[in-house]
């Protein structure tokens, strides 16, 4: 089984190597003529106003938090789905209760307006 | 006839004998075999991406009643190579205010995350780099790494548009991860395995394809995969009129090309996974297995490209509402109904 994941490691290393090779090739060929205007931050042709690292709306954080909760739930669902056919009604009902509890959580978030983007 | 698995095995034995003749042990044999398999897959994926760029331009042109690239080679087929050579020569303008380390690695993270899906994709009978026993779970996990790359790109650019584009893109990809995982779970309940080779093996005949048993699961997966690839109608992060180029505003030259290529790679990856999960993988009569796989995957990619030029873009709140208020409950419903029916049948 280690060799299975060795394949992944080798794949990642060769993937990164491929991209770095392309960057190197580009670096050998391309020109380099920086001037202050080119090096300034892009703001549709105007001079940038204020810092680039603006305050962002908290809704991004809320969506990612809800994603983490449901992702962990999905991770729990994977082993259950794998052995589902060899388990009986009991396992199914048990997982149904688990999903129902989390669906209740989703419904609560929905009613509280956490899933609203605007 | 023309099956490639015998050829691949013969090459594997050749490498083994060559490496052992050099005096290296069995671990080195495995490493070199895997390295060569990886290089072949990466080269194949890259060539395919070059083809897709041309294909997208031709399809979009024909849908818009124009011709597209016609001059460079037969019907413009060498256009992508010309563009790639041009991009190689472009000056890499790195703005002064960026966070250099993160800025450099962001396109690499996005590209490698899109590329790493191909480790567990069976391109034909016996043509897989590594049949991980957690195949589809690995694919779902590695596609989430693109979110890190997008956030890195948006944040390091020190540009308001990039930051917002990166956040929006991350929020979108992350929201559609869960319905995609639920759709995959439906198939796993039938196949009782996460390994891609096993899931394909269960779908030998046309009537055994999982799309017939999980139609809603397929629709959920396809919609979620379109959103994962940031393709229209979900391509708000790239909407030129909205936020310039989103997270890739401050990128030029090859770094920009890497983002662009990563999108086509993830399109092909999503289509391959849909083929494996729902359309019988490489099974099919008469033609070699790898040709069937290519045909099915290219049809999926064609549909993705077709969608782009047919539907208008979804607004960001429609996009998020669709994922959380429709696809997610539908995914769970699909899972419960599948479980119930499987229980009744057994």
Tell me which residues of chain B, numbers 246 to 265, contact chain A at a CB-CB cutoff of 8 Å. Answer: 249-250, 253-255, 258
Give the one of A14, A22, A41 whose C-beta lies nearest to B97's C-beta.
A41
**Predicted pLDDT at A46:** 65
pLDDT at B270 over 90: yes
Tell which of B107, B115, B180 to mutate to test the A interface (max A CBs under 10 Å).
B115
The pLDDT tens digits of the residues spanning B81-131 come to: 898 888 888 888 888 888 888 999 999 999 999 999 999 999 988 888 888
Rounded to whole angstroms, how far apart are CA atoms B169 and B155?
Answer: 12
Contacts of B139 in chain A (CB under 8 A): none
The pLDDT tens digits of the residues spanning B214-242 come to: 999 999 999 999 988 887 777 766 665 55
CA dist B198 to A114, B76, B115, B132, B135, Å?
A: 40, 40, 22, 10, 10
Closest CA to B19 of B35, B7, B38: B35
Q: Could you tell me which residues are beta bridge partners of residue B127?
A: B124
pLDDT at B247 over 80: no
Confidence of residue A44 (pLDDT cuts 50, 70, 90): low
What are residue B213's phi and psi, to 5 degrees? -90, -20
**Predicted pLDDT at B240:** 53
pLDDT at A48 over 80: no
User: Are the beta carbons of B317 and A117 closer than 8 angstroms?
Assistant: yes
Confidence of residue B68 (pLDDT cuts 50, 70, 90): confident
Answer whether B35 touches A (CB < 8 Å): yes
* Average of per-residue pLDDT across B249-261: 84
- DSSP run (H or E) holding B320: helix B316-321
Is A7's CB within 8 Å of B38's CB?
yes
A102 within a domain of the structure (yes/no): yes
> How would you label B160-185 residue by residue, b for 16+ Cβ within 10 Å and e otherwise?
bbbbbbbbbbbbbbbbbbbbbbbbbb
The top-scoring range by mean pLDDT among A86-90, B31-35, B178-182 is: B178-182
Closest CA to B73 of B89, B88, B56, B51: B51
CATH number at residue A73: 1.20.58.1610
Tell which of A33, A52, A58 to mutate to test the B interface (max B CBs under 10 Å).
A52
Distance from CA of A58 to the nearest CA of B (A): 11
Is B189's CB within 8 Å of A5's CB?
no
A116 within a domain of the structure (yes/no): no
Could you tell me the residue range of the domain that residue A105 belongs to? 2-111
Tell me which residues of chain B, numbers 293 to 332, contact chain A at a CB-CB cutoff of 8 Å. Answer: 316-317, 320-321, 324-325, 328-329, 332
| CB atoms inside a 10 Å sphere around CB B146 | 24
A118 within a domain of the structure (yes/no): no
A80 within a domain of the structure (yes/no): yes
Distance from CA of B31 to the nearest CA of A (A): 8
* Average of per-residue pLDDT across B168-194: 91
Contacts of B129 in chain A (CB under 8 A): 7, 11
Confidence of residue B7 (pLDDT cuts 50, 70, 90): confident
The pLDDT tens digits of the residues spanning B101-115 come to: 899 999 999 999 999
**Predicted pLDDT at B54:** 92
Q: Determine the length of chain B.
A: 346
Beta strands in chain B (DSSP E): none
Tell which of A15, A37, A64, A114 to mutate to test the B interface (max B CBs under 10 Å).
A15
pTM: 0.91
**Predicted pLDDT at B113:** 93
A117 within a domain of the structure (yes/no): no
Q: How many domains does chain A have?
A: 1
């Amino acid at each position: 089984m280690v060799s299975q994941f060795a394949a992944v490691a080798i794949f990642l290393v060769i993937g990164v190597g491929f991209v770095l090779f392309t960057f190197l090739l580009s670096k050998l060929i391309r020109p380099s003529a920086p001037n202050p205007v080119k090096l300034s931050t892009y703001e549709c042709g105007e001079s940038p106003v204020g810092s680039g690292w603006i305050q962002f709306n908290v809704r991004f954080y809320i969506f990612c938090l809800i994603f983490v909760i449901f992702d962990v739930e999905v991770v729990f669902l994977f082993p259950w789905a794998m052995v589902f056919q060899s388990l009986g009604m009991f396992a199914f009902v048990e997982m149904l209760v688990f999903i129902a509890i989390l669906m209740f959580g989703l419904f609560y978030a929905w009613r509280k307006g956490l899933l609203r983007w605007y | 006839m023309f099956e490639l698995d015998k050829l691949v095995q013969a090459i594997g034995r050749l490498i083994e004998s060559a490496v052992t003749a050099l005096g290296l042990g069995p671990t080195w044999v495995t490493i070199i075999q895997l390295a060569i398999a990886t290089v072949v897959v990466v080269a194949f994926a890259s060539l395919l991406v070059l083809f897709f760029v041309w294909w997208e331009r031709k399809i979009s042109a024909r849908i818009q009643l124009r011709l597209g690239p016609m001059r460079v080679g037969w019907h413009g087929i060498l256009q992508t190579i010309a563009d790639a050579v041009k991009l190689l020569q472009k000056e890499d303008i790195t703005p002064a205010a960026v966070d250099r380390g993160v800025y450099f690695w962001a396109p690499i993270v996005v590209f490698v995350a899109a590329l790493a899906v191909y480790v567990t994709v069976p391109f034909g009978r016996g043509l897989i780099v590594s049949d991980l026993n957690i195949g589809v779970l690995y694919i779902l996990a590695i596609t989430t790494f693109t979110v890190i790359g997008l956030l890195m790109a948006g944040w390091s650019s020190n540009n308001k548009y990039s930051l917002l584009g990166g956040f929006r893109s991350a929020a979108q990809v992350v929201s559609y991860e869960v319905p995609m995982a639920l759709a995959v779970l439906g198939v796993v309940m039938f196949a009782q395995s996460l390994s891609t080779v096993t899931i394909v093996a269960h779908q030998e005949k046309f009537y055994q394809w999982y799309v017939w048993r999980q139609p809603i699961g397929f629709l959920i997966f396809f919609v979620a995969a379109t959103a994962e690839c940031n393709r229209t109608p979900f391509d708000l992060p790239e909407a030129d009129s909205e936020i310039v180029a989103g997270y890739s505003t401050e990128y030029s030259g090859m770094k920009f090309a890497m983002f662009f290529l990563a999108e086509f790679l993830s399109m092909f990856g999503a289509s391959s996974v849909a083929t494996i999960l729902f359309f019988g993988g490489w099974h099919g009569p008469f033609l070699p297995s790898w040709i069937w796989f290519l045909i099915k995957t290219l049809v999926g990619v064609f549909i993705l490209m077709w969608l782009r030029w047919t539907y208008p873009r979804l607004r960001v709140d429609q996009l998020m509402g669709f994922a959380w208020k429709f696809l997610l409950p539908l995914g769970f419903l699909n899972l419960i109904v599948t479980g119930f029916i499987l229980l009744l049948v057994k």
